[in-house]
Amino acid sequence: MDGLGGTAAAIVLIVLVIFVIIVLVRSVRIIPQARAGVVERLGKYQRTLNPGLTILIPFVDRLLPLLDLREQVVSFPPQPVITEDNLVVSIDTVVYFQVTDPRAATYEIANYIQAVEQLTTTTLRNVVGGLNLEEALTSRDQINGQLRGVLDEATGRWGIRVSRVELKAIDPPHSIQDSMEKQMRAERDRRAAILTAEGTKQSQILTAEGQRQAAILAAEGDAKAAILRADGEAQAIQKVFDAIHKGNPDQKLLAYQYLQTLPKIAEGSSNKLWIIPSEVGEALKGIGGALGGNNGDSPVGLFGGSDESKSSEPAGTPAQPRPAE
């Protein structure tokens, strides 16, 4: 009997220890950071647990699954949307949201993630349905802003705040994509042709401008060179003229210089005809008078006689030889 009593006492003690452990486990809870828990007492909302250590009443309080208070990112599958010009496009959306009220997120909506997805799809179709394809492709920021405004207003009573809505991809039909690619290719070719023409035009303008400037500079250079040559010749002539007047030359010296200059006039293979100026007679008179001892009355003095001595002898009379001196 004592052995049976001892065994029963040991079993009761073990049961009590297990019960105490279970009570402790159910009564002591630790809530991690960025988490929140909703406590129900006898099936009714009692309080919201914040991060840290908390004590519950066993078998009376019940802790619901913890809620994540961090910002969550949910990517929804592509949704077909009809645009204003009756084209079906496939749009991928990404929603950034955060639970701000654990109680409302638990009791106001059964599945807030599914609710956000369905609300996003409906709102997206309403917004994109009022735009054509080109506007839908170029107005992402406008679509994002409208989606965020509608979602944030609708999910506010669920204890959820929608921070951002992004359109990840807008895929038009393949036929429309091919047409858009051809249009873009044609537009690029047109722009390239315009840029090439503009470049050619600018190059020709610059080339013509350069040639004009070069011609102007060359003409200015030739003009300045001609002016400098003329100035140099004028200065040389002036110096010669001044030197002649300073030397005070007589008529005989001038006639002699004139005769020396005449052969230079005939130099050159292109001279076929030599015209003797009318002044050559006066020059010959002067040089004859200088060399023959006369006053320059006749150029015959160059050959050893005067006009009077030759005219005194009758015509046809032979010349008499002179006696040797």
Quick: pLDDT tens for 168-183.
888 887 777 777 778 7
What is the rounded distance in angstroms from the CA atom of residue 26 to the CA atom of residue 63?
9
| Cβ contact 116:97 at 8 Å | yes
Q: Which pLDDT band holds residue 4 (cuts at 50, 70, 90)?
A: low
Domains of the chain and any CATH numbers: 2-67 (no CATH), 70-172 (3.30.479.30)
State the first-to-last Cα distance of the chain, in angstroms, to the nearest integer: 208
Q: Mapping DSSP to helix (H, G, I), strand (E, B) and coil, where does residue 197 land?
A: helix
What is the rounded distance in angstroms from the CA atom of residue 134 to the CA atom of residue 44?
53
Least confident of 34-38, 179-183, 190-194, 252-256: 252-256
Hey, how many other C-beta atoms are within 10 angstroms of the C-beta on 288?
A: 23
Q: How far is CA 113 from CA 59, 95, 96, 137, 162, in A?
A: 31, 10, 11, 27, 11
| Cβ contact 64:37 at 8 Å | yes
Q: Which pLDDT band holds residue 267 (cuts at 50, 70, 90)?
A: low
| Cβ contact 108:157 at 8 Å | yes
Does the pLDDT at position 111 exceed 50? yes
* Tens digits of residue pLDDT in 219-257: 999 999 999 888 888 888 888 777 777 767 666 666 666
Half-sphere exposure (Cβ direction) of 7: Cα atoms closer than 13 Å: 4
**Alpha carbon 281 to chain centroid, angstroms:** 84
Q: Mapping DSSP to helix (H, G, I), strand (E, B) and coil, where does residue 187 land?
A: helix
Q: Which pLDDT band holds residue 96 (cuts at 50, 70, 90)?
A: very high
Residue with tokens 């956000």: 116
